[in-house]
Chains A and B, each alone.
Chain A
């Protein structure tokens, strides 16, 4: 059960301000999605949380202790990075064994189990693994680590659809059986939207939103039907984006759906539906 507090974090590279005054508290035992248009922003934030790079200003505190060069705090986190950091001549099973050395709660049986499920050859050397299997190896280590905070940066890179599904299911199972704080940074928003509990959206180096997914989704809906009727419906309402196909129009309304709206829609013969997280994300980061 570890709380992450990000306080006033700024990160400057030369004259570029990559992160601007980021303040965030991540409560324990939730699955967070970190979303953003720019992969670099997200990775910078994750790298700061895990002591890979150093803040220009501000601090990151885990359970009251600053993470900066602090092994006690750092050992609570497992960070599955996009980059390949394992020695290329290391065999998968050796990587597992060393993970156990650095993460005493590492569950070797679980790791072996997952390797079999995913078809990961444990005798292969890291350099012999394809991109997909490289990700799989790292994902398995992350899941088996039993760290109280597990961070995934683009975990399903190179994985085929089947393996991606398997990963999401294993993630959910692992989280359900042994609750932990999970942060997933990904571009594949729709695939993962139902697994996430909260989303954090980062844009131009700033956090523009941190909300439970359910709350966020309940604050918008899509209305569609005959264009003129749709125009009547959305009068006076906050809307973003819209699609037009001939006389058909669909508009995303950024308000909670009221019963009066439902009645009006029925009257105007319009269809109502929810908005996908990905669509919402695009609207929110476009404005």
Chain B
């Protein structure tokens, strides 16, 4: 899990996304325990309140749930929720960026589509 302290995205958001990524990758399994606020804060060298904020964000979204006295766990159906969420931002974060970059370096749209096809097959 790496955080980019120079990014304009707040740390707690980056943390939440990093945990989501780990859930998608299967590092954190459904009903499995996620690292605690303390563990995250210590390993990432950030303020525990920030770590807590990131975790609470995921709790609010239903991706994680809290077991009193034990810790934070991945909710059942978390993967689905994350995938759904990511689909919605896919357009902004990836498609638009792809098109911007393509126009910046003067790749016509047909070539872009051809590249996508090529990538899909390989």
Contacts and interface: CB of A to CB of B under 8 A. Distances in A.
Contact present between A and B (CB < 8 A): yes
A165 B42 CA distance: 10
A108 B6 CA distance: 39
B10 A176 contact: no
B8 interface: yes
B47 A172 contact: yes
B42 A172 contact: yes
B48 interface: yes
A177 B42 CA distance: 11
Nearest to B52: A176
Main secondary structure of the interface of B (DSSP, over half): helix
Given A193-B5, A266-B100, A165 B45 contact: yes
Interface string A5-46: 000000000000000000000000011000000000000000
Interface stretch (A65-73, A114-122, A132-140, A269-277): A269-277
Contacts of B50: 194, 197, 214
Nearest to B37: A176
A173 B42 contact: yes
A130 interface: no
A172 B39 CA distance: 10
Contact of B46 (A165, A172, A266, A269): A172
Contacts of B3: 194
B105 to A, nearest CB: 11
Interface string A158-201: 00000001001100110111000000000000000111110000
B18 interface: no
- Which range contains the number of B residues in contact with the other chain? 20 to 34
Interface in B5-51: 5-12, 37-38, 41-42, 44-50
A196 B6 contact: no
A172 B45 contact: yes
A266 B100 CA distance: 8
Contacts of A168: 45
B48 to A, nearest CB: 4
A274 B45 contact: no
Interface in A188-221: 193-197, 213-214, 217-218, 221
B104 interface: yes
A276 B46 contact: no
B7 A195 contact: no
Given A173-B42, A177-B38, A266-B100, A31 B10 contact: no
Contacts of B6: 273-274, 276
Contact of A194 (B37, B46, B96, B104): B46
A118 B11 CA distance: 29
A279 to B, nearest CB: 10
Interface of B: 3, 5-12, 37-38, 41-42, 44-50, 96, 100, 104
13 contacts: A30-B49, A165-B45, A169-B42, A172-B38, A172-B42, A176-B37, A176-B42, A177-B38, A194-B45, A194-B50, A214-B50, A274-B5, A274-B9
Q: Which 4 A-B pairs have the closest CB atoms?
A: A176-B38, A274-B8, A176-B48, A194-B46
